[in-house]
Structure 1
Amino acid sequence: MSIALPEIVSREEWQTARDALMVKEKELTQATDAISAERRRLPMVRFDGKYEFEGPDGPVSLLDLFEGRRQLIVYHFMLAPGQEAGCPGCSIVVDNIGHLAHLHARDTTLYVVAPATLPEIERYKERMGWTVPWVSTGDGFNPDCGIDGGFGISVFLRDGDEVFRTYFTTARGGDQLVGTLRYLDLTPLGRQEAWEESGRGTDGPGHWWKRHDEY
């Protein structure tokens, strides 16, 4: 299948087109900054549940997951009890998590949680070569976060020993966590998904994702 490629132009014409696009990129950056500010101003809800998670060193509470920091980001991973492998989409998200020292420097902790048992989680982590911290949720926590078998990202704030939920997103909201997509969005062929450009691909959003050892 032939793919429609960009038009070939002179260096001067390319620079003119690039400068025109940069104006729109700056507008998008400013709009994104405005939405981020609005997100920071969202009201929050107290999270009083006495949840108990299973970690490598034994049972831990939601408050424990903060590790003494003020903020906690939780990625709800799709790995259910009895499953040998996690969701490919969730797996590409975890593949794209950077060094946690950068989050820790801003008083923020990140954990991945899943309903699977801790041994099942540890086996999958070993297969994928991940070191990001995980815990097993058990019952209650995911449903209280609006997770019913799917995935999502929850954000919590700690004020002393009180815990508040400040943000949640799922579906295409998870794209913002995937650096791989940000890189592909810079290229002329993009993600090569059907919605982007006619003739560039047939995949739906994320349908081409696989676990990194399965490509």
Structure 2
Amino acid sequence: MSGSHGVTFPNESADYRAARHKLLDAEARLREQTEEVACLRRELPLGGVVKSDYVFEEGGRNLADNQTTKLVRLSELFQDEKDSLIIYSFMYGPAMNAPCPMCTSLLDGLNGNALHIRQRVNFAVVAESPLKRIRPFARERGWGNLRLLSSASNTYTADYHGQTPDGAQMPMLNVFTRRGGQIHHFYGTELLYAPFPEGMDARHVDSVWPLWNMLDFTPEGRGTVWYPELRYG
């Protein structure tokens, strides 16, 4: 594989090119492994039928609308022609003084991609806090493209591991699929709960998180002591 593309950059040394070819080989292996993992994921058998057709609270499409509130069932989150539903559990529980900065960073990026995502699948964000806490923060962040739901009146967050038994919020991403008139769980980012090496965190949703992927391209890398904040300056 090394050197097969013939690309070089101005004034680079032979040592640089040799090291870059070694990295290129590793990147190519990672590309293949990433597709292998995606294939294994796609081939999963159906998970269990959902525990309940959960009822969520949802506000109006305009985040400035503080009056509109409606109830929406899990089954109603599926559009007629789309049989997959992705739900991200946003760490903003009723006992938290502020939303999770890490989740906020991730959702800042997903807000920009939500219109594209919804061309293929259904997508929603669920938080345990009531709407009156979720929506003002979403308005501040400009999350006009995200479908934001409150699970304050149901057990979805606990049932699908967006919350620990002691009530701690967890940033779980779950995928559901509709088959033969039933809704099944299909995939959850269980890597969140798996042990990880010292100096590393779960990285269960890093593949959809622009921040860390961009930093990983740099000499400084992502580091181990810096984390995103809700506000800067």
Q: Normalization by structure 2: what TM-score? A: 0.76
Q: What's the counterpart of residue 133 of structure 1? A: 147
* Cα RMSD (Å): 1.9
Checking the alignment, whether the CA contact within 8 Å between 1:155 and 1:168 is kept in structure 2 is yes
1:180-210 per-position Cα deviation (integer Å, ceiling 9, x unaligned): 11111111111122xxxxxxxxx1xxx5221
Deviation at 1:32, TM superposition (A): 1.2
Is 2:15 the partner of 1:13?
yes
- Partner Cα distance (1:152, 1:32) in 2: 20
SS at 2:205's partner residue?
Answer: helix
Query: Structure 1, unaligned stretches of length 5 or more?
Result: 1-8, 194-202
Distance 2:16 2:143 in 1: 42
Match of 1:101 in 2: 115
Distance in 2 separating the partners of 1:76 and 1:173: 13
Cα contact 1:84–1:124 (8 A) shared by 2: no
Query: Partner residue of 1:197?
Result: none
**Residue 162 of structure 2 aligns with which residue?**
147
1:55 pairs with 2:75: no
- What does residue range 199-210 of structure 1 map to in structure 2 within 5 Å? 203=225, 208-210=227-229
**Cα deviations across residues 11-30 of structure 1 (Å, max 9, x unaligned)?**
33322221221011101111
Contact in 2 for aligned 1:115/1:137 (Cα 8 Å):
yes
Correspondence for 1:199: none
Match of 1:45, SS? coil
Gaps of 5+ in 2: 1-10, 60-68, 164-168, 193-201
TM-superposed CA distance for 1:118, in Å, is: 0.9
Instruction: State whether residues 49 and 185 of structure 2, in contact with CA within 8 Å, keep that contact through their aligned partners in structure 1.
Output: yes
Q: Is this contact kept in 2: 1:90–1:151, CA < 8 A?
A: yes
Match of 1:168 in 2: 188
Structure 1 distance, partners of 2:19, 2:87, is: 41
Letter in 1 for 2:37: I
- 1:67-93: per-residue Cα shift (whole Å, max 9, x none)? 332111100011112645211111111
The one of 185, 190, 208 aligned to 2:221:
190
Partner of 1:80: 93
CA shift at 1:48, angstroms? Answer: 4.3
What is the deviation of 1:141?
0.7
What amino acid is aligned across from residue 146 of structure 1 in structure 2? H
Percent identity reads: 28
What is the TM-score normalised by the length of structure 1?
A: 0.82
Q: Letter of the aligned partner of 1:147 in structure 2?
A: G
